[in-house]
Amino acid sequence: MTPSRSDLPRPRRRRRAANRRAPAVTIHDVAARAGVSVATVSRVLNRKEIVREETTNQVLAAAKSLRYIPNVAARALSIRRSQTVGIVLPDVHGEFFSEVIRGIDVAARKDRYHILVSGSHSDVVEMGEVLEAMHGRVDGLVVMAPDVAIDSLREQLPRDLPMVLLNSSDERHPAITIDNYGGARAMMRHLAGLGHKRIAFITGPASNADSRDRLRGYRQSMRGATRLEIAGDFTEHAGHEAVKQILAADPRPTAIFAANDSMAVGALSALHEAGIDVPRQMSVVGFDDIPIARYVNPPLTTIRVEIAELGRRAFAVLVETLAHPKSRVRRETIETTLIVRKSSGRQGETS
Amino acid sequence: MTPSRSDLPRPRRRRRAANRRAPAVTIHDVAARAGVSVATVSRVLNRKEIVREETTNQVLAAAKSLRYIPNVAARALSIRRSQTVGIVLPDVHGEFFSEVIRGIDVAARKDRYHILVSGSHSDVVEMGEVLEAMHGRVDGLVVMAPDVAIDSLREQLPRDLPMVLLNSSDERHPAITIDNYGGARAMMRHLAGLGHKRIAFITGPASNADSRDRLRGYRQSMRGATRLEIAGDFTEHAGHEAVKQILAADPRPTAIFAANDSMAVGALSALHEAGIDVPRQMSVVGFDDIPIARYVNPPLTTIRVEIAELGRRAFAVLVETLAHPKSRVRRETIETTLIVRKSSGRQGETS
DNA sequence: GCGCAAAATGTAAACGGTTACATGTAACGG
DNA sequence: CCGTTACATGTAACCGTTTACATTTTGCGC
């Protein structure tokens, strides 16, 4: 029964042998320097309970002189929350991507939250890994995923990790969606009002819910008319390529509706190369109103989506869910606005 | 001396009273279910030491049935590394921003690292907060900051947290920089070769090192000639506005060199509105070769910078520093390439 | 100076993992 | 049948915080 180690509690040994990096200064160092206990240091730093002013000053001075920076991971572990939300995005192209993040980031900062971003995930496996890598570091998630993935994602998720979806359709989670269908219908009315009948549509990826709803709006408006749908993937390149097929069509359409602005920009460029005047010979319209849209030539008629607002609302709903876990599942819709610029014109003002 | 608590080690009480969220499943739950100790579970999950196959299977089954997900924050605390690097960016505009992140992200994923991003930081105080929020969560940092901030940033940093700078000039840290000066000189030679003498320059923010070096290249090439410098801030809007001043200048310049592509795009748009033909009446060139550059009208002559490569190299250097902390401070330069498209033309081909 | 409540501070368990070291067990040679 | 060894597994300290509870100090009335 002789214990091989000392019976007396040994003083906390600062480092184990195999550590690599230089020791960072911890709350214990500050406590030692200030001549108080770690509890007191913690109290001072978190301004939670009453500490004598003199003690407070000593602690603060010690912390400052040692350049103490609390280890947020340790704190998160202890209090079981991190004041951080995770953002998981698929491989989203360019500006949309950064606008969403910006929206969340700005909102988060106001509430003293931090964000942890992971983007460019092409498949479900990768997304799963990312989610795993976030467990313990985030209090909740904002997820944008091709909706085929949502279900399998759920399974890899720690239970009870609140999550808000962007532009996906799942019954069990709060979600913020764009009024894609309504926006597409509005754009189609605009084109119809200009006299266009033969309207081509460049689609986004089929796995994307936004993409599908925009397509649905196009189809609904084209009931009875002959549709021309070219498959795209939301990149400028796809828009550029699609134009070749559209120009070859007989009868040739008089307007092109791209499922997002990036593709519309690509289309404009291809039309210019082909010597086709926009909007006199061909109208081109997009969707999203990304920042560049007003600066292309001619400026792009599009459907404005407040992308940053999308992020902001997602964050708001997430925080709400964090505060009241039992509240019912909320789903919000972001309305859209038709922005008429120079890339769309009356049909028949051809040469 | 009578201890008020029991002398016997009590079994670990699972939760303290005040917890809010539902309990997540931990390694202890898995151990209990598999009928082994936590050490064994840990060994199985990390494939580190030899565990009997039968035991392994039991553990794996238990983990699966409980949907166990390890808490990465706890692990990070324990092993003192997180397999995560932090990315800190100022308020960078649009595509540049996302390209850098993508570059780092792709490289990081290959090495099984994760990234933690924080963007849109306007001032030093905010950046300090962000850095603090990363302490304990990251093994190293990639930082892009207005260089006035670097010094004060250093002070807020935990000692010994490796950091790689993007496009900043600081002696004490590894840095990846773009050959801005060389690129600007190359572009100026291109314009001179087309016969341009009166060349206007739209600058970026003065606090930005890239911006300053590009300006320096312009000035060096313009020795002796009359310069026209308009202050900008890297946004399309700034480029758009700058054109007003440039058109009012007498004698009017024959070419505009914008310090980045976004401003060049804004300038193109303004020139189009003003009815000035590019490149016949005015050449316009940019810097960066962002994705949109080839799709504007006319396609933009610019200096290609492999932005994603910038991120990739930054990550590589960071990992290198992590592995060999004492190795000398490395600084690398990303070379640039002149990309000639349609927005620049021979001077004198005016109406 | 004493008793007592209130205020300030300290002690140590817990958060969820990893791992050094201790312990138990099976195989094997003698 | 025992000692040795190698292998498998368990125990508990530790990572850096927070915080319930215990303990000490202070202030105050008498």
B174 has a pLDDT exceeding 70: yes
Q: Distance between CA atoms of A317 and A18, rounded to whole angstroms?
A: 45
CATH number of residue B66's parent domain: 1.10.260.40
B245 has a pLDDT exceeding 80: yes
Which residues, other chains included, contact A216 with Cβ-Cβ below 8 Å and sequence gap of 6+? A181, A184
Question: Is residue B5 a part of any domain in this protein?
Answer: no
Same domain? B201 vs B166: no
Nearest-Cα distance to chain B for A289, in Å, is 14
Same domain? B138 vs B193: no
Task: Quote the DSSP letter at residue B254.
Answer: S
Task: Quote the DSSP letter at residue A206.
Answer: T
Same domain? A33 vs A172: no
Span B165-169, average pLDDT: 83
3-class secondary structure, B216: helix
Q: Distance between CA atoms of A346 and A280, rounded to whole angstroms?
A: 8
Same domain? A162 vs A63: no
Predicted local distance difference test score (pLDDT) of residue A189: 98
Same domain? A135 vs A173: yes
A120–B117 C-beta distance less than 8 A? no
Span B259-269, average pLDDT: 96
Q: What is the pLDDT of residues B189-230, one digit of tens each?
A: 999 999 999 999 999 999 888 999 999 999 999 999 999 999
Same domain? A52 vs A196: no
Q: How many Cβ pairs within 8 Å bridge chains A and B?
A: 179
Question: Is residue A8 a part of any domain in this protein?
Answer: no
Nearest-Cα distance to chain A for B299, in Å, is 8
Question: Is residue A66 a part of any domain in this protein?
Answer: yes
Q: Distance between CA atoms of A155 and A151, rounded to whole angstroms?
A: 7
Which residues, other chains included, contact B76 with Cβ-Cβ below 8 Å and sequence gap of 6+? A73, B82, B83, B84, B136, B137
3-class secondary structure, B27: helix
Question: Is residue B86 a part of any domain in this protein?
Answer: yes
B285 has a pLDDT exceeding 60: yes
H or E stretch including B44?
Answer: helix B38-46
Phi, psi of B29 (to 5 degrees): -65, -45
Among candidates A136, A266, A296 on the partner chain, residue whose Cβ is nearest the Cβ of B73: A136
Find which of B116, B120, B131, B268 to mutate to test the A interface (most A CBs within 10 Å of its CB). Answer: B116
B1 has a pLDDT exceeding 50: no
- Stronger pLDDT, A349 or A104, i.e. the higher one: A104
A46, A70, A94 - which closes a domain: A70
Same domain? B187 vs B173: no
Same domain? A323 vs A226: no
Task: Quote the DSSP letter at residue A90.
Answer: E
Top-ranked range on mean pLDDT: pick from A45-54, A124-133, A161-170, B252-261: B252-261
A130–B295 C-beta distance less than 8 A? no
Question: Is residue B31 a part of any domain in this protein?
Answer: yes
CATH number of residue A200's parent domain: 3.40.50.2300
Of B347, B254, B269, B262, nearest to B307 by C-alpha is B262
Of A325, A350, A332, A169, nearest to A254 by C-alpha is A350
Preceding amide of B253 cis, omega within 30: no
Question: Is residue B88 a part of any domain in this protein?
Answer: yes
Residue B263 sits at the vertex; the CA angle it makes with B87 and B313, to the nearest 5 degrees, is 30
Nearest protein residue to nucleotide D12 (CA to C1' distance) is B39
Among candidates B83, B106, B158 on the partner chain, residue whose Cβ is nearest the Cβ of A120: B106
Span A215-223, average pLDDT: 97
Q: Tokens 């003199």 label which residue? A: A54
Predicted local distance difference test score (pLDDT) of residue A4: 35
Q: How confident is the model at residue A347 (pLDDT cuts 50, 70, 90)?
A: confident
Predicted local distance difference test score (pLDDT) of residue B350: 46
Question: Is residue B127 a part of any domain in this protein?
Answer: yes
Question: One-letter amino acid identity for A140?
Answer: G
CA of A76 to C1' of C21 (A): 30
B24–A269 C-beta distance less than 8 A? no
Q: What is the pLDDT of residues A85-97, one digit of tens each?
A: 999 888 666 778 8
Print the domain residue range for A149: 82-178+307-335
Same domain? A286 vs A300: yes
Which residues, other chains included, contact A66 with Cβ-Cβ below 8 Å and sequence gap of 6+? A25, A29, A30, A33
Pair of tokens at residue A262: 């990036």
What residue in A sits closest to B326 (Cα-Cα)?
A21
Task: Quote the DSSP letter at residue A257.
Answer: E
Same domain? B224 vs B266: yes
Q: What is the pLDDT of residues A278-293, one digit of tens each?
A: 999 999 999 999 989 9
Q: How confident is the model at residue B159 (pLDDT cuts 50, 70, 90)?
A: low
Q: Distance between CA atoms of A301 and A293, rounded to whole angstroms?
A: 8
B181 has a pLDDT exceeding 80: yes
Q: How many domains does chain A have?
A: 3
Question: Is residue B264 a part of any domain in this protein?
Answer: yes
Strand C: positions under 7 A of a protein C-beta atom: 7-23
Nearest-Cα distance to chain B for A224, in Å, is 34
Same domain? B43 vs B121: no
Which residues, other chains included, contact B248 with Cβ-Cβ below 8 Å and sequence gap of 6+? none
From the alpha carbon of B50, which nucleotide's C1' atom is closest? D8
Q: Which residues of B touch A98 (CB under 8 A)?
A: 94-95, 97-98, 119
Share of chain B above pLDDT 90, in %: 64
Among candidates B73, B132, B269 on the partner chain, residue whose Cβ is nearest the Cβ of A137: B73
Top-ranked range on mean pLDDT: pick from A81-85, B151-155, B157-161: A81-85
B6 has a pLDDT exceeding 80: no
Same domain? A173 vs A260: no
Q: How confident is the model at residue B21 (pLDDT cuts 50, 70, 90)?
A: low
CB B331 within 8 A of CB B174: yes
